[in-house]
DNA sequence: GTATATAATTTAAGCGCTTAAGCAATTTTT
DNA sequence: AAAAATTGCTTAAGCGCTTAAATTATATAC
């Protein structure tokens, strides 16, 4: 293993000087710096992160902590990692995955990792009510940023989708295109998300004085089958809605299916708009619009906040809502 | 930071003994072991991985190296990580993500990481012909396992989908259900995969003496639009195929779309079978069958091989083909 | 009962790096 | 011209752990 000693010898300096050059401390003369850098290049030296970690107390590592199984819809995990990766790439930090499999024990693993000082910071996904993991991170004083949140997390650093804005965008977009009777469909999901969606949806409908019936926005379905039968019921009435705000991938697909079944042509008889865009939406029949584009942004913003926090732990917390962005396709016209 | 010194003091031993207990070396008496373990529990001690790494030369870390952008179809990246995570969880190893964003520089990053001894082993995805990353891993002698392969990689450790078996399963399944005229649709994809699919497909068709026309298995499409126009042409002829083997998500969706356009009812007039199952297939109209289930298996097998290799670097290489598994839904009957 | 093997534990060096403190040479201030 | 500050570099300690070698205690052999 080429070490800092080899570089020091090759450059004719002490190891301290090499270290100062690597860490860009600015107190080494240009000539010496050049000599050291040449040696580093010649010997193809790379600092060992674990040695740095031991000496400095920083691991230069951040962890994404998340049960993966959950991320089938709502958020594309891959995009999210990409977003995080893009930001970290430009920093000195590396990315750990902490894929917690079994929900029940996920906090135990995290606790061990935290005690073992395995990471300098954490990006926490799929936050639940009374999330043990948050307590642990606080107790072990590991800086963290949430992606998504519950009402309990208001004071913490988080990045979340702007649900209010998204609902507004969806409803307004539909209304602008002449669709007055709008219903919302989805399944029971993340802590609080469904609730907030319903709340905002009803609010916006009444703000815009749009026609409304309670059945058009009932509780979210427990299963796909339930959702389909709800949809059939809602859409086959005489005064049925002319637009569906489908807030999950399954809801989008089921809406298309039921529309076909009932011979409702999209977008002529029925408009459909999705929530988080999924790359498959563009290949559906017809291609489906959506109001959120890219979980990548959630990831990259979370990473940015975390990096700032690692630089200045005393920093004020930051709450960011990612704005919706209309991805317009043929399902609304 | 609670260190091994604190444990040694609490247990009344030397730090070496504590270390031997932690590493289950077997040379510590049961009584002392119990005392040390109690101290560890009492003080909630966790070994610092970076210190271990420095002292032992092992990082107990493995990296998944992959451009993420690619994994939109063919493989579910999330499932794959899950598979890897499941195996690593039971080991002492932790999981690094090495999401290479920019393809052009991805090997530079890997080279730096390898030189910096950041990981003990690598799981390499999306292997290309003349993949620089493989050279680097060899040169830096970092054990690695491929997920997917090209013909160049035959001697290396890899896990790949059994394309031969998959094609056979798809064709035979369709034939068994009375579909004789089968075509294959997909887009240009991974290094060699498309080629192997075409080759195997033609082979199996001729082995089974099924009717065949060259147009039914042309080169893979360059774009979704091209695929659609190909499909329209193929399926609207008088003697058109009665079944489609759709080897990507886009191919599945486009097939459904074109079938609807041409008023071909699935599965009555046309059967459809996909390649790698995607959770959305079950919500399509009709739900679509597939021949591969779970990228998780690829991940977990790769992780297992890598762990074995880390234990015994002299080990013979291992090539594993993951068998197809029919996921039967309503698109074939 | 002494020699010898075995088991249990400790000593001590060192892994590759950071960083406070020290020193020498040079520059600035008074 | 002496004192003070600045610049550039080195010395040396130490981060938390592993592990070969040394030491001590205990069991077994003759």
The pLDDT assigned to B26 comes to 83
The Cα–Cα gap between B188 and B330 comes to 27
Can you give the pLDDT of all 333 residues of chain A as single tens digits? 899 999 999 999 999 999 999 999 888 999 999 999 999 999 999 999 999 999 999 999 999 998 866 545 556 788 888 899 989 988 889 999 887 766 667 788 899 999 999 999 999 998 888 999 999 999 999 999 999 988 899 999 999 999 999 999 999 999 999 988 999 998 886 666 778 888 899 999 999 888 887 888 877 888 899 999 999 999 998 888 999 999 989 999 999 999 999 999 988 999 999 998 988 899 998 999 999 987 889 999 999 999 999 988 889 999 999 999 999 999 998
- A266 in contact with B at a CB cutoff of 8 Å? no
* pLDDT at B253 > cutoff 70: yes
Cβ contact B96–A95 (<8 Å): yes
pLDDT band at B75 (very low <50, low <70, confident <90, very high): low
* H or E element in which residue A259 lies: helix A249-261
For B273-287, what is the mean pLDDT? Answer: 92
Residues 6+ apart with CB under 8 A from A86: A296, A300, A303, B101
Chain A closest-CA separation from residue B54 CA (Å): 6
CB pairs under 8 A between A and B: 143
Residue-averaged pLDDT of chain B: 90
Question: Which nucleotides of strand C come closer than 7 angstroms to any CB of the protein?
Answer: 7-12, 14-21
Secondary structure of residue A129 in the 3-state scheme: coil
Confirm or reject contact between A257 and chain B (CB < 8 A): yes
H or E segment and range at residue A306: helix A296-311
Mean pLDDT, rounded, for B46-51:
95
Q: Is the peptide bond before A58 cis (omega within 30 degrees of 0)?
A: no
Residue B104 has a pLDDT of 64
Cross-chain residue pair B69–A82, CB shorter than 8 Å: yes
Q: What is the pLDDT of residues B169-213, one digit of tens each?
A: 999 999 999 888 999 998 886 666 778 888 899 999 999 888 887
pLDDT attached to residue B113: 92
B49 chain-A contacts, CB cut-off 8 A? 50, 116, 118
- In the 37-96 segment of chain A, residues within 7 Å (Cβ) of strand C are 45, 47-48, 51-52, 54-56
Distance in Å from D28's C1' to B30's CA comes to 22
What secondary structure, in 3-state letters, does B89-107 show?
Answer: HCCCCEEEEEEECCHHHHH
Largest CA distance in chain A: 88
CB under 8 Å to B15, separation ≥6 — which residues?
A: B4, B5, B7, B8
Chain A, nearest residue to B248 by Cα: A280
Q: Grade residue B237 by pLDDT with cuts at 50, 70 and 90.
A: confident
**Region B229-242: what's the mean pLDDT?**
90
- Distance, in Å, from the CA atom of A236 to the CA atom of A169, rounded to the nearest integer, reads 26
Give how far the C-alpha of residue B72 lies from the chain's centroid of Cα atoms, to the nearest Å.
Answer: 13
Could you identify the residue written with the tokens 């107190």?
A27
pLDDT at A333: 86
| CA separation for the pair A275, A248 (Å, rounded) | 6
Contact B68 A81 (CB under 8 A): yes
**Stronger pLDDT, B108 or B68, i.e. the higher one:** B108
- In chain A, the N- to C-terminal Cα span, in Å, equals 64
CA atoms within 13 A on the CB side of B70: 18
Give the nearest partner residue to B68 out of A72, A82, A116, using CB atoms.
A82
Give the gap in angstroms from C-alpha A53 to the nearest C-alpha of chain B.
6
Whole-number pLDDT of residue A191: 61
pTM: 0.90
For chain A, say whether B54 makes contact (Cβ under 8 Å). yes
Residue B82 confidence (pLDDT)? 86
Tokens, residue A278: 């999924």
For residue B193, the model assigns a pLDDT of 77
Instruction: Provide the pLDDT for residue A70.
Output: 53
Phi, psi (deg, nearest 5) at residue A164: -55, -50
Q: Is the CB of B32 under 7 A from strand C?
A: yes
- Name the nucleotide with the smallest C1'–CA separation from B29: C8
Cα A138 to Cα B240: distance, rounded to the nearest angstrom: 64
């Amino acid at each position: 293993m080429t070490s800092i000693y080899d570089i020091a010898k090759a450059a004719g300096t002490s190891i301290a000087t090499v270290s100062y050059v690597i860490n860009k401390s600015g107190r080494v003369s240009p000539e010496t710096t050049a000599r050291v850098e040449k040696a580093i290049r010649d010997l193809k030296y790379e600092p060992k992160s674990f040695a740095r970690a031991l000496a400095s107390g920083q691991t230069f590592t951040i962890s994404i902590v998340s049960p993966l199984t959950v991320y089938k819809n709502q958020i594309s995990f891959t995009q999210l990692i990409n977003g995080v990766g893009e930001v970290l790439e430009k920093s000195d930090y590396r990315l750990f995955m902490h894929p917690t499999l079994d929900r029940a024990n996920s906090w135990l693993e995290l606790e061990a990792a935290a005690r073992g000082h395995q990471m300098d910071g954490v990006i926490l996904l799929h936050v639940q009510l009374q999330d043990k993991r948050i307590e642990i991170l606080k107790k072990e004083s590991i800086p963290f940023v949430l992606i998504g949140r519950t009402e309990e997390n208001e004071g913490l650093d988080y990045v979340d989708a702007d649900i209010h804005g998204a609902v507004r965008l969806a409803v307004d977009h539909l209304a602008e295109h002449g669709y007055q009777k709008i219903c919302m469909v989805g399944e029971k999901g993340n802590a609080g998300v469904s609730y907030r969606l319903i709340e905002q949806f009803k609010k916006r409908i009444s703000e815009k004085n749009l026609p409304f019936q309670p059945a058009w926005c009932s509780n979210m379905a427990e299963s796909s089958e339930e959702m389909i039968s709800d949809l059939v019921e809602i859409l086959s009435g005489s005064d049925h809605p002319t637009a569906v705000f489908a807030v999950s991938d399954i809801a989008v697909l089921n809406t298309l299916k039921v529309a076909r079944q009932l011979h409702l042509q999209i977008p002529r008889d029925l408009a459909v708009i999705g929530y988080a865009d999924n790359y498959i939406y563009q290949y559906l029949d017809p291609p489906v619009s959506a109001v959120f584009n890219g979980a990548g942004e959630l990831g990259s913003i979370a990473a940015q906040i975390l990096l700032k926090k690692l630089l200045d732990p005393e920093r004020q917390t930051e709450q960011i809502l990612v704005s919706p962005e209309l991805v317009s396709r043929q399902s609304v016209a």
